[in-house]
Structures are given as structure tokens and as C-alpha cells.
Structure 1
């Protein structure tokens, strides 16, 4: 084994011990707990090299060492195995999510489940309209002067808007609009829908075209609305529980950052660009002052392997990365399966 591989083993042992014990790790502890196959003096040399490289650091009050953000990054990048969830855990996830009644319930259950599995904060982004496809478009007359426009996506998302009418509309025209709109829109990605609907009014009688254009405008405005970007959090109480997380500073900056949806959305959007299946941002990589002692583990979910949004876990940099990655991946997989059903 080369010195670089051996140092990686030492770093891995330091990360695992610090995550488990929360105590800075000394060379004696490494010798006692791990079969590294080298002398205590060699381990001390390796620790000195790791410290010089910025992978571990010495807290002021202790003789031991703790991993730095750079050390955790090296550990995560070199992870060869991710903790497998037990069969009962997998079954519990499946049973819990399959009992959901609608999309809101699925999202709510997913985020609570992930928080329970990781004992950290869980975050789920609602399926974005931009990444969804149209399953069905429904038009429902409400009285004589209103028309309810309902968009149902392939991710189970339902958006409805009310259109005020200038005058009564016949059932025949409503039926024709419904049929033609669905013929053109069903199965289409919502991002491409605007161009697809552009010429649709030409298929109608001139007298009916203003109403058709109004319906299309309502659809376009719905797709353009920024309020679609919704995030659900669970497990913030885990931040304050002594058994879950420990921050050297006050919790306030972390809680304030988590309350800012724009901060979380930016991070989730950036992490969606990563080429890896499960993306990890550690400490300072979050580029937010309030989150310098936290790490984010996220992955995409969606049907047919096409990611429509992200789900993830937020905890201290001193988190169980293999376990968190496994839990995030498992919940995302079941969530995707349910959306595709």
C-alpha cells in the first residue's frame, strides 16, 4: 500500500471516529480502534501530513484532530461503499409512501420519512412545472360567467385558475376546446407548451377565438408563475436536539438560512448541475455564511429517470455521509416509483 492510500485510510478512520464519538481523534485512538497495519509513529507522521495538507485540524482545546471541509470532501469523493438500508427500512419506506393519497401527501410523507431516517433536516422541492409534462387539461364552467381551467401534470401536480368570461359559453364550445387542447397538449413538456398552443385558435370559428386565446393565456400565465418553486422542510427540531447535531456557534444563522427559500432553491439548482447521482456540498461549499457548518446531500427524483425536482438532507459537516447518501437515494427512488405509477 502506497503512502497516499495509507493516508486516505487514516483520514477515513479519523472521519468515522469523529462522526461516531464527536471527540477529536488522537493517534492512540486510531491504533486502538483500527487495524491500520502500521506503527503508531507512522500514523503520527500520516496525521502530520494530513494536517499539513489541510485535511485535518487541531481544535484549540484538544490534542486530537478533527476533519476539515477539505478532509470531508476527500472522504466523500473516495467513498467506495454506501451503507445499504436494511430490508425492514426499505419496506417501511415503500409502505409509508404508497399509502399517500395525492402529490401533497407524497411530498409531505417523503420529507418526514427522510428526516426520521437521517435524524437531520430533510428538504423536498415540489415537482417543477417546467420539468413536468401535461397529463390532462380540464375545463369546467362555473355558473354563466366563469370557467375553471385545471392543469394536471404527469407528476400528479394540479394547478387550477378561474377565467372570468365576457358572456355565457356553450357546453359544445367548452367540449371542443377541451378536446383540441388535450389533443395538442397531452404528453407535452410544459416548457414547450407555449409554442405548441400558439396556432390553436386558428382551428376555431372566428367568433370563438378570443375565448380560446384567453384560455391559452391563463395556461401560459400559470406556467410562468414563480410561485411554482415550493420547498418543504421537516426535522428542523433535529437541529436543536443534543443527540443529532452539534454546532460550535449558535443555531440562529442555520435556522435563518433554512427559512430563506431562495437560499435553498439556489443550492438545489446548483447541485442539479452536478454530474454525480447524489450531490454533496460541504461547509463553505454552500457559499452561505449561515451554512458554513452544514452539509447538503441531494439527488433528483422523477419518473422515467427524468429528474423533475430534488430531495435531500441537511446536517452538520460531521454527518454520517454513507448513511445519509443511502437514505436520500432510497427515498428518492421510491418517490420516483410512486410518481410514475
Structure 2
């Protein structure tokens, strides 16, 4: 379908991915995007969610556009979720279920963003979408329960898992490294956790490609997919790459173990997600993470540097 025929509703539209979705679709002539933040649309309010989906579906169809909802709303404070499981569940489970119910009733397809934290993190090869889950954190458990609520809702819904997201908006690892580079002579970063650094702009582009497919009822049969930038990295390697993009000496970043930095919620030692099912579904694979990082600094360098 042409881009100009798509209408996209993005709950969580002020976050890293939601902001990129809004930015991209806003640049498409004739297309429509509404990306409310939590202050505009609280996904824990089922009535408000139903009203928002109903209104957006009517607006889209009155304009001869095909509506799709991309759920970017989530409770993502991994450590805080250990202390606030009810709040995390309200957003990640009940909120996701409310969106799925509203989309199902209106016949609007739903793309639901999920996470690598649904896996135990002890694999030795990239996780495929149908691999056994086993979250080890409150955050991961609520995200898995949210996936199940969406997939069991009866709506035309797809779950898209991603990982290690960074971008121009919000707080993220790249911005933290940029700040610490200006504050410290050296810093230590864990080298025993491996994953897939993913640029929010590339993820948003992938989600919109999928949105176009499902809006035309050409969506993939597989309802759980992984969308991450290619390759893999430890946080230590990722940090050194950020320093290189900043023009700083990567040797200032030193490796350390997770045991040296204990956190309330355990981080997965291995959370690499395989993109094979994404590509097999006819969707464009995302570029290698190192190429994406360079592109991110070229496009949003000031924001990533905190300027």
C-alpha cells in the first residue's frame, strides 16, 4: 500500500520509539498519525482506550485511510518494577489487554512492542520467536503476560520483540555514556551481558513496514516476531563504540563483571534476538548495529550528546 493510505495510532507516543513513529509518519504526505503520551491517553483507563481507538478508527475511515495501532506504551523501569509490580502490570498487562480488546471490536490491527526480557537470558544462540520463555524479573513477567493478553484477545495482533533500544528521545544507554564521557576520565562497563543494540529510528521504520502489510491484510502468519539491528554486542563493546562516535578514546572504557554492579533486577547474560523470522516473513532486515549507531549520531548527534 502507499504510505499516504496509512493512519497510525501510537499509545506511548512520547517515548523513544513512539517519537520516531510520529516523526516518520508525519513526513508522509496524506498519511495520519496520532501519538499521545501517557498524559493524553492512559492505557490503564479501559474506557479512555476504547474511546480513543473508536475515534481514531472513525477518523481514519472517513479519510479513506487504513488504521493500525502500534502500542509503544509500557512500564520499562526494570528495577522499579521489582518494587511496583502492580503498577507495572497495570500498564504492561491490563493496558495491553484494553488496547487489544478495543482493536478487536473495531477490526483495527494491533502491533504490540515487547522485549528480550521475556527470555531467561541463558541461551547460547540467538533467541527465535517460538523459543521457550522464562522471564526472571517482574518487568519481564508483566511483558510476557501482556503478550499473551494481546495474542489471546481475538484481535488481529502481532507481538514485536526488540532490545537495547536507544534514540534521540528519553533516557538511554547512549546518552548516559555520552554524559559520563564528559564527566570521567575512565569508566567501567559490564562485558558479560550480550544483546542487540537497536536504534529507535530503525525499529520504527521496521514497525511501519509491518503496519503497512497488516493494514492491507497481507500481514505475516507468524504473530510473534523479533526486530533488532543486526549483530550482537556486550554493553562494554557498545560503550566503546559510543566513545568512538563521540571522538573520544575507547580505551577509556574498561570492562567489568555484572557482579561488580549488582542491581535489584537481574539483567539477562545473553539476550540476542534472532531476526530470521522477520526476514522470512518478507520484511526488511535491520542493518548491523554498528552501522546504525553511526547513522544515529549523524542524524541526531546533538540530542544523543545531550545538547
Q: What's the TM-score once normalised by structure 1's chain length? A: 0.25
Higher helix share: 1
Work out which of the two has the higher radius of gyration on C-alpha atoms and give 1 or 2.
1
Q: TM-score, normalised by structure 2?
A: 0.26
